[in-house]
Chains A and B, each alone.
Chain A
């Protein structure tokens, strides 16, 4: 598909997954193929289907189920599409349809598919040998279990359009609607590029851990995160290969990029990507182009992040493995009568200071603390004073507990009131204390509370 200039057929109207079908429709629409020729092609396709059905049943049955016939027809059309899509232009493909019998094109398609399968198998074995040593489950499962399924189960003769693989790991580039061997070939090609780039860097797991504590189960594209951090480091003048960022680096990047327009950011990132490729000695033109297209996509996300002052979601601080395991063991809850007595006592207290004193003295369990906060016995203007008396660790637990995205569906009004009060308190905390609290909160294991 190299030249689409002066084409009568609109390339945009062709569907890669159903190329033969859409090409035939479009070629008819622009009068490259006449109605009579199209009808002849349909008849030829029927003969092809009959031949395939006969092969499928090994001549032992004169009829097949409709779903089987449909599968065979889709497979045949896919096989024809594989040949036609490789033609220089859609017009050339339409002319090939006129010039050659459908059965001849089908034979060519089968050969092309077989060639693509061997090529994909070679790409896969090379990719497997160079696989990144990462803890992300989706990456490992897709690479070592999902893709091999395809080579075991792909039926190029009767289900060429199917993709019998379990591919969950998302690529940086969204693949166009494709299926069968064409999808796997392109997926492997993209994953090879992403792996080749990421293999220049160490401690990717630490970086991913900084991205999210549950990075092992996360549905994320690793290449995008690594590329962003590598570009961030390049922009800060750090030598390649370097992806470790600090909060100071994040602030410096925010200061550097915030005043820039979207166009300037794009130019700066493309320049950084070019420099990065030079530093990493990336000579493959296709990899360079892949990185460039990923940078263009990154720009969109980065602009939003700058606008929302969440640049830390793009340029991630790595978190060493030793940091991210803080376990929390709560004390037993107090009895219900004791809890009722305590809340009654809090109701009777006149000042926030007195309430803070009772909380500090009588509450020994984090669950009791959150229950008290949500028990309508503390006034809205008293929360800040109470929070201020709590230790950094307790505040970190509260920070971890308070929902980040304003989930209102699962909480009572009183609970929402203290969540809101805590968020306001966190905003007014001095920067050093806030950092301490957030560091502890981030290090908490999801199962810690």
Chain B
């Protein structure tokens, strides 16, 4: 019975997620970014599948909207890679909610993702997931207070030079 309770919202969420994504088009339009209904459906399904895969349950929704709103101004986002990048970011977001042991709140994780996506990863989701977020999660798990500081010692030395 408890399982039914927990699984129910994920199904309900898909339709509201589509509406949520479509609503974002109004904001992203000035940046020439647009998601069609089928793309919105695909993202909503990715979102539901990611939640299931990462063993998480969402109650309030709004995460995709937050990700889109945080990333649509990125210089590394354009119409042709828009859906794929957002889908990959959704995946990364839930993966690193788990990997960071839920120590980071939604907004903080999304802000860090955007910062590293633009600054150190230059628009590469693979680098963001496989390197930067990995290091941040590692720092958090090892109790490092300044977990967001992921510069290598070599890089620091290079910066000083």
Which residues of A approach B to under 8 Å, CB–CB? 21, 24-25, 42, 45-46, 49-50, 53-54, 57, 60-67, 69-70, 73-74, 77
Say which one of B24-32, B71-79, B98-106, B146-154 lies at the interface with A.
B98-106
User: Knowing A42-B4, A70-B2, A73-B2 touch, does A62 contact B57 (C-beta < 8 A)?
Assistant: no
B5 touches A62 (CB 8 A): no
User: Of A65, A70, A77, which one neighbours B98 at CB under 8 angstroms?
Assistant: A65
Residues of A within 8 Å of B106, CB to CB, are: 60-63
Minimal Cβ-Cβ distance residue in A for B93: A63
User: Of B5, B94, B102, which one neighbours A42 at CB under 8 angstroms?
Assistant: B5
Q: 6 closest A-B pairs (Cβ-Cβ)?
A: A60-B105, A50-B59, A63-B58, A62-B60, A66-B55, A69-B57
Interface assignment of B141: CB less than 8 Å from any CB of chain A: no
A61 touches B97 (CB 8 A): yes
A69 touches B51 (CB 8 A): no
Interface assignment of B1: CB less than 8 Å from any CB of chain A: yes
Residues of A within 8 Å of B6, CB to CB, are: 49, 66, 69-70, 73
**A27 CB → nearest B CB, Å:** 13
Interface assignment of B61: CB less than 8 Å from any CB of chain A: yes
User: Of A45, A61, A67, which one neighbours B5 at CB under 8 angstroms?
Assistant: A45
A77 touches B56 (CB 8 A): no
Residues of B within 8 Å of A57, CB to CB, are: 102, 105
User: Of B1, B2, B4, B62, which one neighbours A62 at CB under 8 angstroms?
Assistant: B62
B5 touches A64 (CB 8 A): no
A77 touches B2 (CB 8 A): yes
Give the residues from 26 to 77 in chain B that come closer than 8 angstroms, CB to CB, to chain A: 51, 55-63
Docked CA distance A66–B62 (Å): 18
Minimal Cβ-Cβ distance residue in A for B52: A66
B97 touches A63 (CB 8 A): yes
User: Knowing A46-B9, A60-B105, A70-B6 touch, does A65 contact B55 (C-beta < 8 A)?
Assistant: yes
**A70 CB → nearest B CB, Å:** 6
Residues of A within 8 Å of B60, CB to CB, are: 50, 54, 62
**B100 CB → nearest A CB, Å:** 11
B57 touches A63 (CB 8 A): yes
Docked CA distance A77–B2 (Å): 9
B57 touches A64 (CB 8 A): yes
Interface size on B, residues (CB 8 A): 24
Can you spell out 15 A-B residue pairs with CB atoms less than 8 angstroms apart? A46-B9, A53-B59, A57-B102, A62-B58, A62-B60, A62-B106, A63-B56, A63-B97, A63-B106, A64-B57, A65-B57, A66-B6, A66-B57, A70-B2, A73-B2
B55 touches A61 (CB 8 A): no
B56 touches A54 (CB 8 A): no
A64 touches B2 (CB 8 A): no
Interface assignment of B156: CB less than 8 Å from any CB of chain A: no
Docked CA distance A434–B15 (Å): 85
Minimal Cβ-Cβ distance residue in A for B97: A63
Docked CA distance A50–B102 (Å): 17
User: Knowing A60-B106, A61-B97 touch, does A66 contact B2 (C-beta < 8 A)?
Assistant: no
**A162 CB → nearest B CB, Å:** 15
Minimal Cβ-Cβ distance residue in A for B107: A60
Interface assignment of B157: CB less than 8 Å from any CB of chain A: no
Residues of A within 8 Å of B160, CB to CB, are: none
Minimal Cβ-Cβ distance residue in A for B59: A50
Give the residues from 1 to 27 in chain B that come closer than 8 angstroms, CB to CB, to chain A: 1-2, 4-6, 8-9
Residues of B within 8 Å of A63, CB to CB, are: 51, 56-59, 63, 94, 97, 106
Residues of A within 8 Å of B107, CB to CB, are: 60
Docked CA distance A337–B27 (Å): 98
A21 touches B59 (CB 8 A): no
Residues of B within 8 Å of A21, CB to CB, are: 1-2
Minimal Cβ-Cβ distance residue in A for B9: A46
**A427 CB → nearest B CB, Å:** 60
A62 touches B59 (CB 8 A): yes
B5 touches A65 (CB 8 A): no
**B60 CB → nearest A CB, Å:** 4
Docked CA distance A49–B51 (Å): 17
Residues of A within 8 Å of B8, CB to CB, are: 42, 46
Docked CA distance A21–B1 (Å): 8
Residues of B within 8 Å of A42, CB to CB, are: 4-5, 8
Residues of B within 8 Å of A45, CB to CB, are: 5
**A158 CB → nearest B CB, Å:** 13
Residues of B within 8 Å of A54, CB to CB, are: 59-60
**B69 CB → nearest A CB, Å:** 14
Docked CA distance A25–B2 (Å): 13
**A391 CB → nearest B CB, Å:** 67
Residues of A within 8 Å of B5, CB to CB, are: 42, 45-46, 49, 73
Residues of B within 8 Å of A67, CB to CB, are: 55
**A276 CB → nearest B CB, Å:** 48
Docked CA distance A65–B55 (Å): 6
B61 touches A62 (CB 8 A): yes
Known pairs A64-B59, A66-B55. 19 more at Cβ < 8 A? Answer: A42-B8, A46-B9, A49-B59, A57-B102, A60-B105, A60-B107, A61-B106, A62-B58, A62-B63, A63-B57, A63-B59, A64-B56, A64-B102, A65-B55, A65-B56, A65-B57, A73-B6, A74-B2, A77-B2
